[in-house]
Amino acid sequence: MDNNDDYNDFLQMLEGLPQDQALQVARFFQTQLEVRVGMLLSDGLSDEQMSQFESLMNRDVEKMTEWIDRYAPDYEDDEIYLSTRADYEKNAERAGTKVDELALLSRYAQLKWFSINRPDYQEVVKRTVRELHQLVKANIEAFVSAALQGTDIDPESGFWVPPTANSAE
């Protein structure tokens, strides 16, 4: 099963919920995914690497420009940039707007940073989506309840922990 199948299966689990609740549960899933992926990807990184990535995520223009100048001075010829730019142009055209150049550079820098510092990024995301999907599927009622009520969140990690896992410890 690939990530699209997992996502479609997840959406089917939410079919019985009112739209506002389904959206809240989907956002909770996304937040849980981001927390878990972030924790896995940050493992083993230096303080400098973490600081670089935070600057890129926060769109710190000065630090982002410094990073690009240092690590990707010919970025306009980089396949990652060209692909990202094409996506942004397509989305801007669809929306009838201009490309947000800061958002484009920020996204490019993040992707380039991953390619340099965590080339396994995509595999980590895929694996984490599968694992979280399986956990949610096995505990869908508890997950929906946690999403709607903010319960069963580990205060240290920010992870949602099914009640059965909590009581087993």
Please count the structural domains in the chain.
Answer: 2
Mean pLDDT of the chain: 88
Residue 108 one-letter amino acid: Y
Print the domain residue range for 95. 46-117
Summarize pLDDT for 41-79 with one digit per residue, the tens: 998 899 999 999 899 888 899 999 999 999 999 999 999
The mean pLDDT value for 100-106 works out to 94
Nearest-angstrom CA–CA distance, 107 and 143: 31
Residues 128 and 79 placed together within one structural domain of the fold: no
Residues 17 and 80 placed together within one structural domain of the fold: no
Residues 41 and 57 placed together within one structural domain of the fold: no
Q: Is the pLDDT of residue 20 over 60?
A: yes
What pTM, to 2 d.p., does this model score?
Answer: 0.74
Asked whether the beta carbons of 36 and 159 are under 8 A apart, the reply is yes
Residues 38 and 64 placed together within one structural domain of the fold: no
Q: Which pLDDT belongs to residue 127?
A: 95
Residues 53 and 95 placed together within one structural domain of the fold: yes
Residues 104 and 143 placed together within one structural domain of the fold: no
Residues 113 and 142 placed together within one structural domain of the fold: no
Q: Is the pLDDT of residue 167 over 80?
A: no
